[in-house]
Amino acid sequence: MVTSVLLQSSKLSSYSRQCLKAVSQRRTFTSQLTEQQQAVQELARNFAQEHLKPNAAKYDKEGRFPFDSIKGLTDLGLMGACVDESYNGMGLDYLSLALAVEEVSRGCASTGMILSIHNFLYANLVNEKGSPEQKEVFLKNFTKGSLGCFALSEPGAGTDVAGIRTTARLEGDHWVLNGKKSWVTTAIEGSAIVVFATVDPELKHKGIACFLVPIETEGVFRGKKEPIMSVSMSLRAATACNVTLEEVRIPRHYMVGDVGDGFLIAMGQLDQGRIGIAAHAVGIAQSALDTAINYAKERVAFGKSLTRLASVKDRLTDMCILVETARLATYRAATDVTVKNSAMAKYIAGRNAVAVADHCVQILGGRGLSVDYDAERHYRDARGTQIYGGVTDIQKRLVGHYLLKEHDAL
């Protein structure tokens, strides 16, 4: 309204008018959630509080995949949150999905990561980039219980996507894939994988293509089942494994887009994926803050509760500021998806989650190091958010690059 009035002013220069028109066309950000977004947030929060939080520590200790939790999320419709309703999805926006990931991660970080990857990296890709025929095979059942996976990283190519060595060659009506993918989350339990391969390594990013591969296809071999990070650190209830492709033949129409589209598809999906990881990190940080406050209220030292000690109060205040800062950056990225916004959200949320979890451990003291308390699990889970989906160092570089690009300073 204000912009409209200003544009009608006769005192404005033509340059000023152009600037105001540009501003009026730009998407604005508000932290105010719609009624629908609030409903999704409450739905996920109640589910996490009732079903996830009571079992999170047990699943972590046992390294048990949360099948029951995923079934519950499927029944709620959240395993197809942004998928079109015609393919059994809920048709929600990215912020609604981010809210769900945050709340689920607050209850159980491992379950939150599975929800995030299945939606942001698999279901959204097929929903937005897949053909109607591909959606019938690779989407409809993936909102009703089947898990999808995303295979981009390789032993010698993680951040350097253009350097992937998995190959694809066309033989008649089939593509033949060969190569090895690393750290494919939920491949043990999944039913299909998004695979990125090159038709010619010499073409770099121009030779990359994206394929949809049923996991049970002959020639697909899943490696040793192992936790996301290691035996001792981060998301023990979520699994990942290497996936080897040996002369894997898939129909020609299982390629998403055309040869050369794969690089941009991967980059676009990673922008979404970083939003999911940022929301995941916010959920972990919020859970660490919850743990610290609950403990500090009950723990008595020097004749009074820890919440009345200035040093503890300062830590809790810092934790609150860190959580809210990360939350706002994540909401911004989810409503305006750009490389800069998603990288900034992941950078801030991952870094802040680790800092918040560290404060939590410190407030609990010796108990913060004990496996009988949640603090050490929060710290382990938070640390992983700075690594998977692109390490923090790379996120910082991306932010810097696009910042300078916006100012014509490259």
How many Å apart are CA 213 and CA 210, to the nearest integer? 10
Specify the pLDDT at position 301. 87
Q: Where are the beta strands (DSSP E) in 14-133?
A: none
Same domain? For 247 and 312 the reply is no
Answer whether 51's CB lies under 8 Å from 69's CB. Answer: yes
Q: Considering 244, 262, 280, which residue would you say is the last residue of a domain?
A: 262
Residue ranges for the chain with pLDDT beneath 50: 1-7, 9-12, 15-17, 19-27, 229-232
Q: Which domain holds residue 333?
A: 264-406
Same domain? For 84 and 137 the reply is yes
Q: What is the CA radius of gyration of the chain?
A: 23
Same domain? For 112 and 89 the reply is yes
Backbone angles phi, psi at 247, to 5 degrees: 50, 45
Q: Considering 143, 167, 202, which residue would you say is the last residue of a domain?
A: 143
Q: What total number of domains does the chain contain?
A: 3
- The answer to whether residue 19 sits within a structural domain is no
- The answer to whether residue 244 sits within a structural domain is yes
- The answer to whether residue 94 sits within a structural domain is yes
Q: Give residue 192's Cα distance to chain centre.
A: 18
How many CB atoms neighbour CB 49 within 10 A?
A: 13
- The answer to whether residue 16 sits within a structural domain is no
Specify the pLDDT at position 225. 66
Q: Considering 99, 128, 143, which residue would you say is the last residue of a domain?
A: 143
- The answer to whether residue 189 sits within a structural domain is yes
Same domain? For 391 and 271 the reply is yes
Same domain? For 121 and 56 the reply is yes
Same domain? For 399 and 276 the reply is yes
- The answer to whether residue 44 sits within a structural domain is yes
How many Å apart are CA 376 and CA 177, to the nearest integer? 42
Same domain? For 175 and 155 the reply is yes
Specify the pLDDT at position 161. 82
- The answer to whether residue 154 sits within a structural domain is yes
Query: 50 is written with which tokens?
Result: 């009732």
- CA-nearest of 100, 105, 109 to 79 is 100
How many CB atoms neighbour CB 389 within 10 A?
A: 25
3-state secondary structure of 183: strand
H or E stretch covering 405: helix 392-406
| Residue 335's CATH number | 1.20.140.10
Same domain? For 360 and 378 the reply is yes
- The answer to whether residue 256 sits within a structural domain is yes
Same domain? For 254 and 279 the reply is no
Q: List, in order, residues 6 or more apart from 186 with CB less than 8 Å away.
A: 114, 117, 118, 147, 149, 238, 239, 240
Strand 239-251 and strand 255-256: the pairing is unpaired
The single-letter DSSP state of residue 258 is -
Same domain? For 212 and 184 the reply is yes
The single-letter DSSP state of residue 201 is G
How many Å apart are CA 263 and CA 227, to the nearest integer? 28
- The DSSP secondary structure of 87-111, one letter per residue, reads GT-----HHHHHHHHHHHHHH-HHH
Specify the pLDDT at position 185. 94
Same domain? For 197 and 329 the reply is no
Same domain? For 98 and 168 the reply is no
